[in-house]
Structure 1
Amino acid sequence: MFYNKYKIKIAVVAILTLSFGSCKKDFLEVVPKGVAIATKTTDYERLLNDLNLNLLGSVSQIAMSDELAGYAPLYGPGLGILNISDQKAFEYQDDIYLPTENTSELSQLEKQLYTYNKIINEVMNSKEGNDIQKKALRAEALAGRAWVHFMLVNYYGKPYNAATAASDLGVPLVKVADVTQNTFTRSSVQAAYDLIIADLNEAIPDMPGRIISRHRMSKAAAEAILGKVYVYMQQFDKALPILTSSIANLSGASISVGLHDFNGAFSTGGAFFPVNPFTGPNRTNMQIDKEVLYLKMFINYYSYILSGIPVSKQTAELYTASDLRLNFFTASPFPPTGAVYPNKMMRCYGRYGNMGVNVPDIYLLKAECESRTGNLGEAVAGLVAFRKTRMQNNVANAADVPANIASDKIALTKYILEERIREFATTGERWWDMRRLSVDDTYKSTVGMVHHVYDASGNITKSYPLKSERLTFRFPQYIMTANPGWQQNP
């Protein structure tokens, strides 16, 4: 692959060996020892069942999100910040990774891209399966490839801007599984979005309708991704019917999929019960969390114990006292010493880390699209229904949208964007919103452009401004060394 072809060769052998560890002996005997070659339709299904397709590594965008602040007593690698790279990300430095590091956000995504391409290009010629089975597997892989390219272009390409996307540099679009290929060219952002949309439109008709596993792509998940792609392109009229269809396709699932009602989830015997005073609600098992539709899991220590970059005062003030999501926050840093954050800042704990498809995201994107397209009544109704699952049901009108906001398109859209912060604080989701909103003339003012670090008394000790260029990651040095002809991002 264009990132590091030698590492990919090793990774692919490891993935295939792991995936086919339970294969029959006669299957393994036809290939060199230690290597498995997919030939049967069931072999390609095993590739889709590989847990490596559901795991992610580095997720620096969490530290870059604007809902956070720095807490000086714990501001540094250790119990405050995961590593130096995350600290540099919080400070919006140009280069997050040290020149000697050879891992980044690319590392796991590049391996997944290889597997998806292998299935896309080979499964239709596999043995024993029928065409319906083969098309369904290929559709899953197409949607998986689209998701990977979507992540990559939103890490390393500029935010989508229709006026400049055709000339803005994106990422190489890899459509073959060939570890010998060593020449790659960065496509435009527009070309990336065109391929992502084409892959999803081709995949969805053949996608399994029933949701059988959080590890596998479904029609509802693929539609959610496509809807989100159109939101990022500011084509809200196209996104709305697709997101609506995604929600409709959540029904009839073989597993529990939908929204938690936090009123019950935080009660005795509920899904999030008990709440540990140090590590938070009991919500770390994404395998059974009904709000996870499609799993792309990462370890999020900022929603667990790391205490150096809590949510800011401005973020904390977005919550009202009746908001049950406050159960995911504590005013006490970890480890407990009796200290309390200043300025209403809070540490998040007990939240899952999934960068795939989450049910709340679909509902909130749908409400945003309804508001932006002028369907204010539908947007308010959907938003209130969503908020009823988050607010204390014994507090009158707690979930309601204020009347002066409900009747104003811009105010309502801003309120929905704030609801997204309330819902996803410290998960990294805000970073993607910051990128897309930065090129939206009406709502770019909602993007925070500075990170502050506060001392124990609440005084600012340092400030780190966000340059527009840092809404796009620079490629790590090991990538540039392997691709000397590439133009580095500013």
Structure 2
Amino acid sequence: MKKIYIIVLTTVLLCGCNSFLDVTPKGKLIPNKVQDFDELMGDPLNVSAAYPLMEMCSDNICMKEDYLTYYILSDNGKAYTWQEEFYRAEEDDMTWNGAYSIIYTCNLVLSEVPGINDGTDAYKAQVMAEAKVNRAFYYWFLHSCYAPAYDPETASTDLSVPLVLEPDLNAKVSRTTSDKVVAQILKDLKDVAMDLPEKSASEYHIPRVAVYGLAARVNLFFGNYDAALENAEEALKLNSELLDYNTFRFNDESNPYGGVDNRPDPEYSPEMIMYRSSAYSSILTTSMMSPELLEVFDTEADLRYKFNFTTLGWDGEPSGDPYPAILPDLDYNIGVPEMMLIKAECLARKNDPEALNILNTLRKKRIAADKYADLPQVSADKLLKVVLEERQRELAFNGVRFFDMKRLAKEGIYTRTLTRQFEGTVYTLEPNSNRYMLPIAAKVRLLNTNIVQNPR
């Protein structure tokens, strides 16, 4: 597809400026047609600004001390040990900056497109719908990173992130309360699905099914389980295709790092509902799977373990590491498996045994055929636990685990206290700790003193 980059958003230091973020548009070409804004919405940058630092905070990974020695002064090492600050005073916060860059673009589109004389009303509505969906995704991401777990009883006082709905880089904004941010996310996703085509022009554009998929995800995290169930079912009506891991084969059985035959790249996966990636998708290369993640896998039968983790080194010999290495890069797609798991969780919360049937449908494509057996029936009080374990296995590095830990800790379901050690210092993450909120970088707070730090 032809790409025209009309406006380039770049990270710069706004010296002496009180802007809420460190991005400014520059470039000489100004869009003046709907097609220009359409192509702006099709920019690959729009799908890849979710900086994955929160992966280092989750219970899915483990880092050896020799690697941690190298990374302890970086944002990776600081996030892994849940430190008070992740960045030095002069360092940019890529989680914050990347998301707000895309939000600026979306705000620009929503501000300018209605006044353009060119293009049909339907075309304008499509481009604006894409902007709303992208904005909703990145506000959900920012809220999940920097705000406490959503609680309707405290949402009117809990601080989330600045809610900026105009393309104004110089606005002296403050952090907005969670109720307002959540309301805007849901508003952006309401009644826009039919403005989008069933099949998008490219993976970087947004198809209709993506609206239902994203709405299912955000409603799950906000505790709106009936809405999450309804949207997941709508998404599955449009796409219910699953990859069969029984068809996967290593290109070289003696070297799992050589890739997997028959496994498509995430952007071409038939399971994809909304394509998302990360600009730093290789963040896991210095990490191993954690013992907490390892314990939920049947390592003999589960093909997700076989094709995503290995105890071999690059030379094909046993690595000697205490836990398996992680093979693939991050896959941040919202996909069919996630919709099935959302549906199963919502049903499990109603004590509906149909949740197990959904899990079995998924597992038949994930467990070795000669070792497969349906999940045993469980009592209603254990059903949710079974679903959540399947969710951890399937979505291990899909960008939601740390956020799951946060929301489930708020419910009293996730009760584990994590500990990590480095050079004699023990770092801990307790349930409902303030460390479940990422710190807002000193540079962001310096540029705009209206923004207050998260409690640590």
Question: Could you state the TM-score of these two structures normalised by the residue count of structure 2?
Answer: 0.87
Residue from 274, 288, 301 that aligns with 2:268: 288
Q: Which residue in the other structure is 1:412 paired with?
A: 383
Residue pair 2:255, 2:312 contacting (<8 A) in 1 also: no
Amino acid at match of 1:449: T
Deviation of 1:157 after TM superposition, in Å, equals 1.1
Question: What residue is the counterpart of 1:96 in the other structure?
Answer: 86
1:68 aligns to 2:61 (yes or no): yes
Q: Which residue type is aligned with residue 304 of structure 2?
A: R
Post-superposition shift, 1:418?
A: 1.0
* Amino acid corresponding to residue 487 of structure 1 in structure 2: V
Specify the SS of the correspondent of 1:415.
Answer: helix
Report the counterpart of residue 470 of structure 1 in structure 2.
435
Percent identity over the alignment is 24
What does residue 156 of structure 2 align with? 166
Could you say if the C-alpha distance between residues 262 and 336 of structure 1 is closer, same or farther in structure 2, counting changes exceeding 3 Å?
closer
Residue in 2 aligned with 1:31?
Answer: none
| Whole-angstrom distance in 2 between the partners of 1:421 and 1:68 | 12
Maintained 8 Å contact 1:99/1:478: yes
Q: How does 1:122-161 map to 2 (within 5 A)?
A: 122-161=112-151
What are the within-5 Å matches in structure 2 for residues 24-423 of structure 1?
34-56=27-49, 58-77=51-70, 84-179=74-169, 181-250=170-239, 258-264=241-247, 266-267=248-249, 273=251, 277=255, 279=257, 281-282=259-260, 285-298=265-278, 299-303=280-284, 305-306=285-286, 309-320=287-298, 321-327=300-306, 328-332=308-312, 338-342=318-322, 345-349=323-327, 351-376=328-353, 378-397=354-373, 400-403=374-377, 405=378, 408-423=379-394
Relative to 1, partners in 2 of residues 1:426 and 1:245: Cα closer, same or farther, differing over 3 Å? closer
Q: CA deviation at 1:202?
A: 3.5
Deviation at 1:142, TM superposition (A): 0.8
Q: CA deviation at 1:133?
A: 1.1
Greater Cα shift, 164-173 or 51-60: 51-60
1:430 maps to amino acid: R
C-alpha contact 2:200 2:207 (8 A) present in aligned 1: yes
Q: CA deviation at 1:45?
A: 0.7
Partner SS state of residue 165, structure 2:
coil
User: What whole-Å deviation, never above 9, does each CA across 1:377-422 have from its counterpart, x for those lacking one?
Assistant: x21111100011100112241xx1122x2xx233121111111221
Which blocks of at least 5 consecutive residues in structure 2 are unaligned?
1-13
How many angstroms apart in 2 are the aligned matches of 1:3 and 1:90?
A: 30
Structure 1, residues 290-328: CA drift from partner, whole Å, max 9, x if none?
33332221233255x32xx31222321211111001221
- Cα distance 1:438–1:5, how it changes in 2: closer, same or farther (>3 A)? closer
Change (3 A) 1:274 1:219: farther
Mapped to 1, the partners of 2:326 and 2:309 lie a distance apart of 4
Q: CA deviation at 1:159?
A: 0.9
AA of the residue aligned to 1:163: E
Number of the residue aligned with 2:7: none
- What letter is aligned with 1:152? L
Local SS of the residue matching 2:410: coil
In structure 2, C-alpha distance between the alignment counterparts of 1:43 and 1:477, rounded to whole Å: 36
Q: What's the offset of the Cα at 1:67?
A: 2.4
SS at match of 1:394: helix
Alignment CA distance shift 1:165-1:237 (3 Å): same
Residues 196-239 of structure 1: CA distance to partner in whole angstroms, max 9, x if unpaired? 00110042232323345321112211111111121112221221
CA RMSD of superposed structures (Å): 2.6
Larger deviation: 293-302 or 163-172? 293-302
Segments of structure 1 that go 5 or more residues without pairing to the other structure are: 14-33, 252-257, 455-459
Q: Do the aligned partners of 1:39 and 1:127 also contact (CA within 8 Å) in 2?
A: no
Which AA in structure 1 matches 2:32?
T
> Distance in 2 between the 1:60 and 1:292 partners?
23
Which residue number in structure 2 is paired with residue 483 of structure 1? 448
Deviation of 1:120 after TM superposition, in Å, equals: 1.4
Which amino acid in 1 is paired with 2:321?
A: Y
Aligned length in residues: 433
Note if contact 1:114-1:177 (Cα within 8 Å) is conserved in structure 2.
Answer: yes
C-alpha spacing 1:137/1:160, structure 2 compared with 1 (3 Å): same
* Paired residues of 1:76 and 1:84 also in contact (CA < 8 A): no
1:164 partner SS:
coil
Which whole-Å deviations, capped at 9, do the CAs of 1:82-140 have from their partners, x for residues lacking one? 97211111111121112221232012111101111111122122233111111111111
User: Using a 3 Å threshold, how does the CA distance of structure 1 residues 182 and 367 change in structure 2: closer, same or farther?
Assistant: same
2:414 matched residue in structure 1: 444
> Aligned to 2:205, what secondary structure does the other structure show?
coil
What letter matches 1:325 in structure 2?
R
* Equivalent pair of 1:286/1:352 in contact (CA under 8 Å): no
